[in-house]
Amino acid sequence: MLQKVSICVLLVAIGCTLAKHVELPAPYTDHCILDDKTNLYDPSKQFDIQWFDINLDLPPSERWKQVAGAYKVQIKELIGVLIELISPIFPNAVDWADDVFGEMALKLPQPYRDEIMSISQVTGIPLGQITMYNIFYEIFTVCTSIIAQDKDGHLTHARNLDFGLFLGWDPVAHEWQISQKLRKIIINVNWIKNGKLLFKSNNFAGYVGIYNGLKPGAFSLTANERYQLEGGYYGMLKWAFGLEADGKWMSWLARETFELKNSYLDAKEHLMNTPMLSPVYFILGGVNKNEGCIITRSLNGTALLTELADAKNGWYLLQTNYDQDQQDLYLDDRDTPGDRCMDKLTQKNAGFQGVFNVLSSRTNLNKLTTYTVLMSVETARFETILQSCPGECYPW
């Protein structure tokens, strides 16, 4: 019982690690990068991100050895910064992470348990710390996802992944410390099954779940955190206390969907109805005209379904971290500038370049942004481009 309560205390400690000396710029103004003169999209930058194969035909303990070996130093540095940030509030963070999350690892479902154990063995990082690393992404992600359809019905699915809020502000570099470290461990992954490509994703090295992915000819998926009182903490605590046997971890449900489902409609049904441990927005795209939706998930079902065909603008959906029928918090309004830039972009420019430039416009681009991913299910095109926001940018 004590160790289960310890998980709660540690998670709250992480969540309450507030940044110091953060200077807020003036509230957002239109900052849309739309024409060729200000174009920031350079497709050659995708080659800055290394590709790895994860072979699902191998035993789970063998799948991540190459990645873990290549990035063990960077993963260790990232976890070290996280523990350093927690320690002033929670002095025994290292011991508790090792003990509490180490015990938690033994209860994780397969194949994730053996994969995480293998990463721990290869990197030499204690099992509890690798487990914590694979869980805390479920709580601290603020993002923007877009599905845009051009005049010919071709879909582009893209997202900014913003991570590191309240996790250590660097007053010299004017960046979040965790975001700095995460940019160094971004990888692309080809997932192989029966000797063939099954789907693509990008990951933080050593993280076995999925936030973004594409299954060629079938569907694309991104996941954004949904803020609720019964959020990720609540589901994790229910799981830790044995009160939730059926709920899925969000990023593992996304991965499971790519492994098991072969069409947009099958993926949609699975994501809408599978019990979960944390609320989330699943942004799902397909290969055919109007195949796009936002699935607003609670723990036990879908709270709201927003279809591309019914979008107010008729050709795109933009999702941050607020329900489609609710107003954003004023200090965290990324929907308003995002919508304004998309409207200025116009449907005829709704391709990789146009959408990338919208996602490179403030405040959708901010100090938390680590990368932009661009996907086309129709062409199997998948590009990950590192992002940062130097100069005067909003902290989130």
- The predicted structure's pLDDT at residue 285: 98
Least confident span in 9-18, 97-106, 240-249? 9-18
What percentage of residues in the chain have a pLDDT greater than 90?
55
Distance CA 293, CA 316 (A): 10
Query: If you ran DSSP here, which 8-state letter would residue 124 be given?
Result: T
Q: Pairing mode, if any, of strands 186-193 and 51-55? A: parallel
Amino acid symbol at 153: G
Q: How does 202-230 read in b/e, with b if 16+ C-beta sit within 10 Å?
A: bbbbbbbbbbbbbbbebbbbbbbbbebee
- Please compute the mean of the pLDDT values over residues 351-378 and round it to a whole number: 92
- For the ranges 12-16, 31-35, 240-244, 263-267, the one whose mean pLDDT is highest: 263-267
Q: Is 143 a catalytic residue?
A: yes
Among 38, 334, 27, 309, residue whose Cα is nearest residue 153: 309
CA of residue 292 relative to chain centroid, distance: 18
pLDDT surpassing 50 at residue 6: no
Tens digits of residue pLDDT in 289-329:
999 999 999 988 999 999 999 998 889 999 988 788 887 66
Least confident span in 15-24, 35-44, 154-163? 15-24
Name the more confident of 234 and 177: 177
- The predicted structure's pLDDT at residue 339: 92
Catalytic residue from among 32, 143, 293, 341 = 143
- Please compute the mean of the pLDDT values over residues 95-112 and round it to a whole number: 85
Domain residue limits, the chain = 2-20+58-136, 43-52+141-386
43-52+141-386 belongs to which CATH class? alpha beta
Check: CB of residue 231 under 8 Å from CB of residue 278.
Answer: yes
- The predicted structure's pLDDT at residue 318: 96
Tens digits of residue pLDDT in 183-239:
999 999 999 999 999 999 999 999 999 999 999 999 999 999 887 656 555 666 666
Indicate the pTM of the whole model: 0.88
Element (H, E) at 384: strand 381-386
pLDDT surpassing 80 at residue 13: no
- Please compute the mean of the pLDDT values over residues 34-60 and round it to a whole number: 92
Instruction: Give the model's confidence band at 254: pLDDT under 50 very low, under 70 low, under 90 confident, else very high.
Output: very high
Name the more confident of 203 and 333: 203
pLDDT surpassing 50 at residue 9: no
Name the more confident of 327 and 67: 67
Average confidence score pLDDT of the chain: 84
Query: If you ran DSSP here, which 8-state letter would residue 166 be given?
Result: T
- The predicted structure's pLDDT at residue 22: 42
- The predicted structure's pLDDT at residue 14: 43
Helix ranges, 165-302 (H): 177-182, 232-240, 250-260, 264-273
- Please compute the mean of the pLDDT values over residues 251-273 and round it to a whole number: 97
